[in-house]
């Protein structure tokens, strides 16, 4: 994996999710991260940006606030780190309970699975809130485990 440190700033519009996914995909593919791991990180970033638009910025008009996405790959630590900054209201994922899927389905809840998915696909999820300033969400994915699993599958097929 090659080292990359890139940044993207988008406004609070769900139309921008496609741009965010392409940014993550192009950066990580160029860095040499496997397709399967890239798909997981894309999902985590998409869910996190969607939460910021829907919750942290829910009181703000579309396109009036920004979301700052920093994406770094660390070959020595074999990990990808994504940090998202927003200036919306406090939204702490640690306060979101693990969803009861039966209830979720029965009540036909439209939202509430994003944080659960982020925790499923990423290895570390940390949150920081600076009152009156910003929310910072940091997510880390260690590549070794997933890459090894993929390698094992390839070996089994060969």
Partner 1 sequence: MEKASELKVETRKCGGKTVVLTIHGVLDAHTSSQLERRIFKLFDSGVHKIVADLSGVKYISSAGAGVLISGMQEASEKGGDFVFVKPSTSVKELFDLLGLASMFKSFPSVSEAIAHFTGR
Sign of the Cα pseudo-torsion (96, 101, 107, 108, in order): positive
**Scanning the structure block, which residue is given the tokens 């020595």?**
76
If binding is defined by CB under 8 A, does position 122 make contact with partner 1? no
Sign of the Cα pseudo-torsion (126, 129, 130, 134, in order): positive
CB of 83 to partner 1, least distance (A): 20
If binding is defined by CB under 8 A, does position 58 make contact with partner 1? no
CB of 131 to partner 1, least distance (A): 27
* 123-142 residues near partner 1, rule: CB under 8 A: none
How many whole angstroms separate alpha carbon 41 and alpha carbon 110? 22
* 59-98 residues near partner 1, rule: CB under 8 A: none
How many whole angstroms separate alpha carbon 11 and alpha carbon 112? 22
If binding is defined by CB under 8 A, does position 111 make contact with partner 1? yes
Among 24, 27, 46, 67, binds partner 1 (CB under 8 A): 46
C-alpha closest to that of 72 among 157, 144, 143, 152:
143
If the CB atoms of residues 77 and 149 are measured against partner 1, the closer one turns out to be 149
**How far from chain centre, in Å, is Cα 67?**
12
If binding is defined by CB under 8 A, does position 5 make contact with partner 1? no
C-alpha closest to that of 3 among 58, 56, 71:
71
Q: Which residues bind partner 1 (CB under 8 A)?
A: 14-19, 21-22, 39, 42-43, 46-47, 50, 53-54, 101, 104-106, 108-111, 113-114, 116-117, 120-121
């Amino acid at each position: 994996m090659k080292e990359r440190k890139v940044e993207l700033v988008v406004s609070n519009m769900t139309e921008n999710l496609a741009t965010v996914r392409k940014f993550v995909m192009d950066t990580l593919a160029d860095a040499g991260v496997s397709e399967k791991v890239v798909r997981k990180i894309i999902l985590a970033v998409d869910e996190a940006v969607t939460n910021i638009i829907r919750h942290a910025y829910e009181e703000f008009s579309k396109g009036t606030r920004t979301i700052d996405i920093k994406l770094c790959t660390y070959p020595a630590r074999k990990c990808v780190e994504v940090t998202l900054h927003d200036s919306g209201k406090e939204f702490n994922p640690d306060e979101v309970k693990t969803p009861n899927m039966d209830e979720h389905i029965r009540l036909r809840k439209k939202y509430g699975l994003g944080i659960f998915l982020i925790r499923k696909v990423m290895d570390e999820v940390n949150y920081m809130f600076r009152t009156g300033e910003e929310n910072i969400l940091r997510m880390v994915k260690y590549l070794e485990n997933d890459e090894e699993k993929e390698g094992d599958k390839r070996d089994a097929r060969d």
